[in-house]
Structure 1
């Protein structure tokens, strides 16, 4: 065989094998985070994704080949929110309350804002000149990118969990107090009361608002705050929302691991994506026919919405329901609100919160390998039936200042006692 032909064949074979390698890599889940993937955003051209994690890092990915292009580290604690600027800038918001702007490999360009509590959501204004942030400090902020003073929005009773801009520039916020608030440039907000805490919010180009409920519901609101529709997405809390670029579909993620894909006009679930059973914390559309999700298994996955199937293997089998053996136990029912963040068994490990295995008799902030806040480490508490009951009687913010826990209380003594009895049994 002539040398020239051998070289041509070798080059063709190398190109073919290289193409196979790129395809295989692109179709595998993206692995790189050391903790659950809490936040996701995809560039308008669909080429890159930005993810934030409980491991205190953000990663910029190439969606074509699944390669990690950059790892961004500055936050002291989880990266709860990410967003993308029209000019290519990257935004990260952390548990430390800081919002960082990134443009090149030299580190953050600057810190845009600092909240007094963890940042829970980020949004970019339609004009690309301002950003909005929500925080567990009970506020939302509109921060000009040119360095002007921030506009602080106050009124929610408790954590503000999500933020979005309407097409006309008005701000929308969603909070643990079960309200969605629409803020004009001046004057009081229009307040919409939902039936439970609101975990996330997004807004379409026509002004319709979608809000995710901790009761497993999705609410579709008109721009004036009127409720157009309410959908039952599932029995588990909805924790993240994404809107397709054409505005026709919504995706709603749950702590149970399923994602509902919803026809927005019809207000109807058209497709359910079933993952490995761990919480799906974040999601973003890549074009109109592909969804990118981040979950409790630390992976970033792609889904083909034309088939409802993952692109590549799920890589994990669906775990058994940890509470299946406690059917009918009132304490286990109360604990359902906690299972997204805490495991109970020796091999469960840490999630957003530390494992509860062996919690009784344990001093606070002593689980190995869990990144407690400095304020939390200074507390002098031993977990007993009495201290756990007190935690949920007055709320984490008062009983354990500096905690990462969402603010929540259990209002009846009977339910608090049932939870304690369940934990005594399940964490031994």
Structure 2
């Protein structure tokens, strides 16, 4: 018996197997991972960002502060996170705080890209207003970088932080010194949708014709490779600088070895656009976010889709009603909500006992101020209405990502499943 208990204890102590991350109600537009590799942040067209515990494959918090889609995110060296929205604002967040710690104003158009400086003291933002801004995170005035003829879609720092590299819809890449020197402009001949700067200073840009263009640190072309048959919409550089991930508009992701300019392998998902990429420091893991609202996880060295076979143990309620038609619909909710009596709160409140409970009264959960004065009592009918109209329309001010269940049969199955799984029936 002792050996059995010991074996069970060892098994339960093992890290949770990597899973897809589900919780957004719209395409996942942006991804970043903290320098220690423990936490990811995703931004979505649903106007929210979500912080994820990668070891547990669970949502930690839903961040709501933008008026429209979250197009860019960044993980800062000091433990904070930054989000950039279509509303032109940059917000800074700290784990455990439901509201932004700071708001960076100045852009007059959507934010397309964010990048922290190597020392973590500056944050660069690229915008469709035609400029990039370099803002001190402690105090001081932002440096405004202009010169592009049209939207600026990508921004990155040189490895030593002395200059900022920007890419625009005008087909140019600009290298702008921060010490007041003269900026250099390189014409790539195609709109630039993403760029990265390697530890040795090499610049890699992806464009509308599916090619990756390699530039030396001071601008001259150093090579190119065809990574996709369709426009490249996102790039990511592995932490060691050896590999580049390039996402095409049709959903494929090419893994390119930078030194040899060779496509090592192509990751193929469900065929929907992949809008965002991020490598996880300390591992070979690559995160991809796309039009299916899911953050997928891959081993970039082997091409294996992580979580496709090995899944975490389902909750007791989920296991008990696994054959219910609403169980599959609930999968998108499980990242933020638990069903069991001992499940507790996650990014969203526990659903145990939700039927018959007044809105914003689950113990221990920090609700949005706008919900606390509402008088909605959750029933099968009101939950169905929530998913019919969407959280923003039915419960204005909510932190819940915009998530609608349009099909009436799916909506009924979901509501019936929640009622059964939480003991209401």
Same fold, TM-score > 0.5, yes or no: yes
What is the Cα deviation at residue 105 of structure 1? 2.6
Q: Is the 8 A contact 1:113 1:143 kept in 2?
A: no
Structure 2 match to 1:111: 103
SS class of match (1:77): coil
| Distance in 2 separating the partners of 1:104 and 1:114 | 25
Give the alignment of 1:89-238 within 5 angstroms.
Answer: 89-106=80-97, 107-169=99-161, 170-185=163-178, 186-238=180-232
* Gaps in structure 1 of 5+ consecutive residues: 317-367, 372-428
Decide which moves more: 176-185 or 107-116: 107-116
Superposed CA offset, 1:60-94 (max 9, x none): 11111100011111001111111111110111111
What is the Cα deviation at residue 17 of structure 1? 6.9
Superposed CA offset, 1:367-395 (max 9, x none): x98x9xxxxxxxxxxxxxxxxxxxxxxxx
* Gaps in structure 2 of 5+ consecutive residues: 312-327, 329-388, 393-425
Match of 1:35 among 23, 26, 38: 26
How high is the TM-score relative to the length of structure 2? Answer: 0.69
Superposed CA offset, 1:157-185 (max 9, x none): 11100000002320000000011100023
Q: Is the 8 A contact 1:282 1:294 kept in 2?
A: yes
How high is the TM-score relative to the length of structure 1? Answer: 0.69
Match of 1:297 among 277, 292, 308: 292
What is the Cα deviation at residue 188 of structure 1? 3.6
Match of 1:267 among 261, 273, 276: 261
Q: Is the 8 A contact 1:112 1:145 kept in 2?
A: no
Q: Is the 8 A contact 1:95 1:118 kept in 2?
A: yes
What is the Cα deviation at residue 12 of structure 1? 4.6
Give the alignment of 1:315-354 within 5 angstroms.
Answer: none
What is the Cα deviation at residue 211 of structure 1? 0.7
Q: Is the 8 A contact 1:82 1:91 kept in 2?
A: yes
Alpha-carbon spacing, 1:9–1:114, altered in 2? closer, same or farther (3 Å): farther
What is the Cα deviation at residue 187 of structure 1? 4.2
SS class of match (1:38): strand
Superposed CA offset, 1:258-293 (max 9, x none): 111111111111111111111111111113522111
Superposed CA offset, 1:193-249 (max 9, x none): 112100011111111111110111111111111110111111211111111111111
Q: Is the 8 A contact 2:18 2:54 kept in 1?
A: no
Q: Is the 8 A contact 2:175 2:185 kept in 1?
A: yes
| Distance in 2 separating the partners of 1:64 and 1:110 | 28
| Distance in 1 separating the partners of 2:248 and 2:217 | 25
What is the Cα deviation at residue 10 of structure 1? 7.4
Count of residues paired in the alignment: 311
Structure 1 match to 2:68: 77
Say yes or no: does 1:258 pair with 2:252. Answer: yes
RMSD across aligned positions (CA) = 2.3
Q: Which has the higher contact order (CA 8 A, sep 6+)?
A: 2
| Distance in 2 separating the partners of 1:104 and 1:311 | 26
SS class of match (1:155): coil
Alpha-carbon spacing, 1:96–1:306, altered in 2? closer, same or farther (3 Å): same
